[in-house]
Structures are given as C-alpha cells and as structure tokens.
Structure 1
C-alpha cells in the first residue's frame, strides 16, 4: 500500500512537470508577411512562436529541413511602443514572486533614453549606460549557483554572449543580499555590466519572456523579428520589415508527455533516489537508467489482447 501511494505521488508530480514543459513548435514553410503568419498561427495552432531560452531555439532549429531557400523565419516578437527594464536570464523559475522587479538605481537613474543597459559600481549602485560601452561584467553560473566576475572589457551584448556560452547568463540581481555580494567583488572605482536591459519589443501572445538572442548590431531598423538559419548566425535573431515574405514558426500551448524527454527521465531518477534514501540507502547513492538496445531509457510493450473466453 505504501509503495502504491508513493508511486501515485511520483506520477502526480510527473504530470505537473509535463504540464509545464516547453510548448510544441511548428515550422511552416509557406511565405507570409509577419501579420499573415500571426493570423495563420492563431487559426491553426496557438500563436507565432514565443521563445524562453537557448534550448528552445535549438529545438526550433531542429525542425528546419533543407526544403526552403530562405535564411530566416518569423518568430512572434515585434517592436512595441512601451519600454521596459528586464533581465537577460528569462527563466521564470529563477525568480520568486516580485524578485525580478528588484532595483538598486542610484539617485536620478535611469537617466537617459538612449542608455538601455545597466551596470553596478563598487558602492552597489546601478546606472544606465550605452550598451556599446566596454566594461567588465558579472556572469551567473547556474550549475554552481554563484556569480562569476569577468575582468575582460566587452559591450553588454558581447558580455551576454560570453556568459551564455561559458556559464548561464549575465547576472540577475534579485535581492539586497545578492547586490551586496556583487558589490563585494568589485574594487576601487570599478563598474561592471549586470543582466538588466531595456527594450520595447513584445511577444505576439503577450508573453512575458525577456529572452532575446539578437545578432550583433541588431535590431537596427526592422519592426518584426526572424530566426536565422545560416551557419554564421544560426539561431540568432534578425529584425526585418514586417511586410517581408518569410516562412515562420508557430507554437501549440501545452506539452506532449514523452518518457524519453530529459526532464521526465531526470525527474523520475530524482524521485527514485529520494525513495531509496528514505528507505535507508546512503545519501550519495547514484541512480542511473539501464539503456535499452535502441539507446532509450524505456521500452514500451504492446498489451496483448485478451480473448473473450480467457477473461477472468
């Protein structure tokens, strides 16, 4: 009975996990303007694609075959009219309620409409600055749950790219404690980039994702965003005139339960390990999947049909 209850809890947690997995993306190889693509996606799926992180960018790129002659495809980002300060690290689970709104601006800041990136000084105060300024910067490393100071001068965009490639992202500062931690890493009159930036772009589905993956020197004039396919800029975003004819990405809300999805298999391993520890196993017990001959963690067996005469 105890094991049955525990299994039910595991499966309930698995259901909750799968209900919040990334949406399903769809590559539509038909040429449409951004507005036409938006209408198509809303009629046939949920909306033009909203993107939360680099993993979702990679999933979208895997959908693109070779049966097209275009260098990019529309996504659901368009230029809006209102400006908003937000964090480069867009993972909603990283922020507790209200923590993404923490600010430590110096008096009179932000002060300039043309200064759209934020840095922190050795006093722990924040200032807005031109994103093209060359500064040292602070990354956040999610695997070690720590800030990393990088003493190399880069523009804000270059610093963002570096942090995403080497760690997790530019640093988000959610509390006074984290602000003090970064302050203690600085010396003298040093100022460093953090992950706060301002823009006026919005998602078609009114999503709150602050994730951006622009090419260098972009956006520079277009009002609608497209995901690039070519090797030099693969997965990065370009701004285009919204009337340009391009293929596009839609998304479907919700998630399809897949036992092979890494999030699902990792979740099950964690729950099994927890159950073993509760039953007396050492806390450093290592639990891994035994791979099937085809490389999958699980094999699905078809249930044999029971003949009417054999049913008990």
Structure 2
C-alpha cells in the first residue's frame, strides 16, 4: 500500500473529538514580575503575550473562573525605547514590509509628547495629542473594508468603539490602502480622522511583535514613575483590561505554553512561514520529555497528523530540524524516516494525532494542522 494511501486511511480513522487547547496557563503563585517571568521561562515558555481580542478571551478562560483575583501579570514591560505601532497588533495581519509603511507629512512626527496619528484629507499623517476629539476610521475584518465614523472621540475612545463594533482602528499597510481611506474621508467631507498608529515604549518579554494593547481608561499612568509592568484585570467592570504596576508588586500570573497547535490546514512550507512570522519556528523535538508535551498538543489536531519542523536533506540522506539541528532523538512509525528516498520526492515530518503518535514522512504539499514553538533553541 502506498504511503499516501496509508495516510488517507489514518485520516479517515481519526474519529475522536477533542477540544482545542489554549496557549495560556494560570499559575496560582504570587510573585513579583521578575520572579514570575523566571518561573514561566523555566516551566513553560514565557509570561503571556497577547496578539488580539481573541487572546484576551482565551486568557480569561485559562483562569477557570477565578473571578476573585484582582489581576495577573502578563509579559508586557516598559522599556527605554519608544516606537510607532499599529493598534491592530496581530502580526499575522502584516507581511514583512506592511507594518513599516508610513506617509508622514513634512516635519512629522514633530512632538515627542504626541503619541497618536490622524490622516488629513490629502492623505498625509500627523501626530497629535491622543485626547483631541476627531472622527476616525475603523477596519472590519469580515468585510475587509474601512469604515468612516463621524463621531468626535479621543484616540482611545475611537479604538474602543472600533473594537466593539468592527475589528480595530484602521491600519494602513500600503499606498493603495492610504488612497482608499483618503477617498472615504473626502466623500464623507471629513478633513482629519484618527487611524490606528500610536507610539509607546512597551514590549513583550518573549520579543513578540504584537502591538495589541488593551489598557483600561487613564492607563498606563505610571504613578510615582515606577510602574513598568502590566497587570491583566480579572474582576469588576474592567475585566480583560490592563493596568501598569510596579514590578515589585505581588500577583499571580499567566504563562504561555511553549508549543501551540495551529488549526489551519497549510502545506509544510506555509506552516513554516506562519510559525516564523507569528511565533518562533515549527516545533523541534530533542528529548522524550519534550515529545510528551508535543504529543499532548498534537492530540487535539483536526487532521490525522500535524507538521513538525522535520525535513529530509536528501543529498546526504539526513533528517534536519527547521532550525538547522540534525535529528538525534526520533520516534518514527514503521517504514518512515529510514532508508533512501527518491530525491525528486521531497519528504518532511509530521506527528500522528492519534494512536501511538509516532512520526510520519510525508510529501510537503499535504495540508495539515501544525505545531509552532514559542521559544528558540
């Protein structure tokens, strides 16, 4: 029986229903933010980073109804750098150059204290006081379109409105989108409108590129000039919003798991690109201990197997991990991973989601779920 036929048979045999895991783990130990990060890095991957509103909801689920807790540490810390970022902070929304497009007017940005951006009717951008009242442009991911809202709001209020009613304040990823928004403004007779570009000095401890922020009103306020870490609120009317606190404060905290199952069906190369853009890499397995954690994640896949970072270097008949390491520890299914292959037929590796969960050697064009890693070697 051909390998592809075997795989299809396995695919049809997966009849179990699993709930998808969330990447967050609640740790019921009170620590300062430095101790919490050390604990997460030793036992998981890092303190939690948050990419979008869906992650906010997933994090709250990970608390298992612990509503009596005031708040928990997440991995957002204040740095000495101040950079321009988009409110729609999910890195998956951008390709490499998209988050770098700017169309500043001459001599803009011109004030280090003005941290929000509006577009003028001629399509040029200006930085301004975030408390100014302006119309604004929302982005709706369902319609893939821009929406002009002719209500006068501060930048933060406009952000909240867009998130509640659409997806977020608009990003402007290229000249074409800039022209689209300019035309919408001119049609609506609006001379200036907030867009989603803002400046701050906060970064995620795992170096995630997410610029998503969900600060509570008036936050961050840096009381005493020492509030350099972030608490995710878990009680009251501001549940899910964030406050800045001194790192020396004691809170329980949220870690993020090192391995994340992505329930999209992609080819191996597409999965590799996704993991490198949104996490660190496709997963590598170097020990039985790591394999047990990967197997636990793989069991929830909606496909019969999930891509790992394995690929076959046919010239010397050796298997490599995508980060460049030679495969030492291995757990191949019978007939997979050994012997020579026709070098015209590239092979890559996946882990079965059911049964003994051994590894398969498969064509990279198959479309499977895949497992990303949130940490480097």
Q: Please confirm whether the aligned pair reaches a TM-score higher than 0.5, indicating the same fold.
A: yes
Matched, 1:247 2:252: yes
Report the counterpart of residue 39 of structure 2 in structure 1: 40
Report the Cα distance in structure 2 between the residues aligned to 1:95 and 1:6, rounded to whole angstroms. Answer: 38
Where 1:184 maps in the other structure, the secondary structure is helix
Report the counterpart of residue 257 of structure 1 in structure 2: 298
TM-score using structure 2 length = 0.63
Normalized per residue, which structure has more strand? 2
Report the Cα distance in structure 2 between the residues aligned to 1:26 and 1:168, rounded to whole angstroms. Answer: 26
In 2, are the aligned partners of 1:22 and 1:254 still within 8 Å (CA)?
no
Distance 1:247-1:182 versus aligned 2 partners, 3 A rule: same
Report the Cα distance in structure 2 between the residues aligned to 1:70 and 1:228, rounded to whole angstroms. Answer: 8
In 2, are the aligned partners of 1:88 and 1:196 still within 8 Å (CA)?
yes
Shift of 1:63: 1.9
In 2, are the aligned partners of 1:22 and 1:56 still within 8 Å (CA)?
no
Q: Which has the higher contact order (CA 8 A, sep 6+)?
A: 1
Matched, 1:233 2:238: yes
Where 1:185 maps in the other structure, the secondary structure is helix
Report the counterpart of residue 111 of structure 1 in structure 2: 110
Shift of 1:173: 0.4
Shift of 1:207: 1.4
Q: How many residues end up aligned between the 2 structures?
A: 256
Shift of 1:247: 0.4
Where 1:186 maps in the other structure, the secondary structure is helix
Matched, 1:213 2:214: yes
Output one character per residue of 1:174-206: Cα deviation in whole Å (capped at 9) or x when no partner: 111111111111235610000100000011112
Q: Which moved more, 1:230-239 or 1:117-126?
A: 230-239
Matches within 5 A, 1:13-52: 24-52=23-51
Report the Cα distance in structure 1 between the residues aligned to 2:111 and 2:151, rounded to whole angstroms. Answer: 25
Distance 1:7-1:144 versus aligned 2 partners, 3 A rule: farther
TM-score using structure 1 length = 0.75
Unaligned runs of 5+ in 1: 12-20, 266-299, 304-312
Output one character per residue of 1:60-102: Cα deviation in whole Å (capped at 9) or x when no partner: 1112245685300000011000011011112222212201100
Shift of 1:302: 8.7
Report the Cα distance in structure 2 between the residues aligned to 1:135 and 1:5, rounded to whole angstroms. Answer: 60
Output one character per residue of 1:226-263: Cα deviation in whole Å (capped at 9) or x when no partner: 1001130111111111111110011112222365x7xx
Report the Cα distance in structure 1 between the residues aligned to 2:88 and 2:298, rounded to whole angstroms. Answer: 26
In 1, are the aligned partners of 2:88 and 2:169 still within 8 Å (CA)?
yes
Q: Which moved more, 1:214-223 or 1:247-256?
A: 247-256
What's the C-alpha RMSD, in Å, of the aligned pairs?
Answer: 2.7
Report the counterpart of residue 140 of structure 1 in structure 2: 139
Where 2:142 maps in the other structure, the secondary structure is coil
